[in-house]
Copies of this chain bind each other. A is one copy, B any other.
């Protein structure tokens, strides 16, 4: 099997870097000391479903399962914004006097431990601001599952791979392309996040991930891949069921699963934003809560337990775009974390470690701009993404009346003459933010520490400030997996 990891015990000895240096190069997923058994997927045999989980044997930890929820790009303002939106919806009359955590509870409030996490990367230029790839593995920006530099890239083992080798079932769920940086950093190894065709190939050929749900069909589809290889057919050969709609996801009830979803207009890219899925498109995409429930349902069949990462991946995109609808997306993520905590609580046969933490902040988002006030009714009324609005306005050509109608249809705002001029000039985000008084300092990532929430075995490990390299350490401890940060491996990737 091409690209199958060799986890020979002397890999670490080939490292040319100092021990001190390697401490900082430890990755979220870096792990060592696990058994050398690569997972082998069982071929599908008629109606017989492929079993999930590897063939390894597992040393029990306090936790049987671990679930990590990542709202990509979400720091405190995003979390607080979800609370404001929820409070406004639950009782707009009492608002904001019901924004107190006791009055409007988010699921993150139920976590046993609150902490904070540093996110800086290990870049040659020493910038303190990471991208999502380097946030998944403490490395240079752009690297997936490895350290060093683009010229001297060294793959390292991830927590997901270690879990798989210990016989656990594994899953990656996201609203971005499944080949995007955050999920990719848990299971694949390439020097540059841009080679998503190769990331898709590694997912399929390595078969380490039992459940893969997200967007990005174009990197599996022979008609869209540069090399023309049919990763969909090959995935089926590897024992994966393939689902492309909400209905097909619902039908999949056990065995390895590759779900590739998207809007009807663009099935091959990211999945739609929450507001577009919910209010705009006549879509057959599942929601992130449904995807999470399905992943847990399938993975929990594995006697050795499971590791699951769920990413609310487009919070980040809305941060980049300075889109008010980000609060809707973050509230969906909170529902996902609630689903995870409910499973952890209901699961009578085992213990589940559950954690929510972002990879970095995006947008320098703040709840307030220049008026000592905000309009949460207006934020609640925004029922389409900025991307959808911009696209719909583009389609009107220069028709100002049609632009007014588009904006009113999706936001309820009756535009002023000045606002129409600003929108024509390309300032739609600014017009909407002026209305809502949501503030943004950036269209990029920022470096503040992000809040974290942990429950279950070893949660106390995260009741403090910690570095992102410690996430995999704490999860490994919870699961009883041996762990060494930054353990290098031999891995053949294709350029």
- From B77, B122, B128, B373, A367 is in contact (CB under 8 Å) with B128
Contact B448 A80 (CB under 8 A): yes
Cβ–Cβ < 8 Å partners of A365 in chain B: 441
Contact across chains for B444 and A370 when beta carbons are under 8 A apart = yes
Tell me if B109 and A122 are in contact (CB < 8 A): no
Q: What's the Cα separation between A312 and B367 when bound, in Å?
A: 23
| Contact residues of A between 440 and 487, Cβ < 8 Å to B | 440-449, 451, 463-467, 469
Task: Assess A444 versus B371: contact at CB under 8 Å? Given A449-B80, A465-B109.
Answer: yes
What is the chain B residue whose CB lies nearest that of A446?
A: B368
Asked if A415 lies at the interface with its beta carbon under 8 angstroms from chain B, I say no
Copies in the complex: 2
Pair A79/B449 contact, Cβ less than 8 Å: yes
Given that A114-B114, A364-B366 are known contacts, is A96 also in contact with B371, CB under 8 Å in the complex? no
Check A463/B465 contact, CB under 8 A, given A99-B120, A442-B366, A444-B372. no
CB of A187 within 8 Å of the partner chain: no
Contact bitstring A99-131, B, C-beta under 8 A = 1, else 0: 111110010110001111010101001111101
Task: Given A96-B128, A115-B114, A376-B128, verify A366-B449 contact (CB < 8 Å).
Answer: no
The answer for the CA separation of A116 and B111 in the assembled complex, in Å, is 13
Chain A interface size, under 10 / 10 to 19 / 20 to 34 / 35 or more: 35 or more
Out of B100, B113, B364, name the residue touching A441 (CB < 8 Å).
B364
Using Cβ atoms and an 8 Å threshold, which residues of chain B touch A343? none
Decide if A100 touches B118 in the complex (CB within 8 Å).
yes
Chain B contacts of A337 at CB under 8 A? none
Q: Which residue of A84, A365, A446 has the most chain B CB atoms within 10 A of its CB atom?
A: A446
Q: Which residues, 113 to 172 on A, are CB-close (under 8 Å) to B?
A: 113-116, 118, 120, 122, 125-129, 131, 141
User: Cβ of A429 < 8 Å from any Cβ of B?
Assistant: no
Task: Give chain B nearest CB distance to A375 CB in angstroms.
Answer: 10
Contact A439 B439 (CB under 8 A): no
**A–B complex contacts, Cβ < 8 Å, 16 sampled:** A76-B451, A77-B448, A80-B447, A80-B448, A95-B128, A103-B467, A114-B464, A114-B465, A116-B451, A127-B373, A128-B367, A129-B374, A364-B364, A369-B441, A374-B447, A440-B441
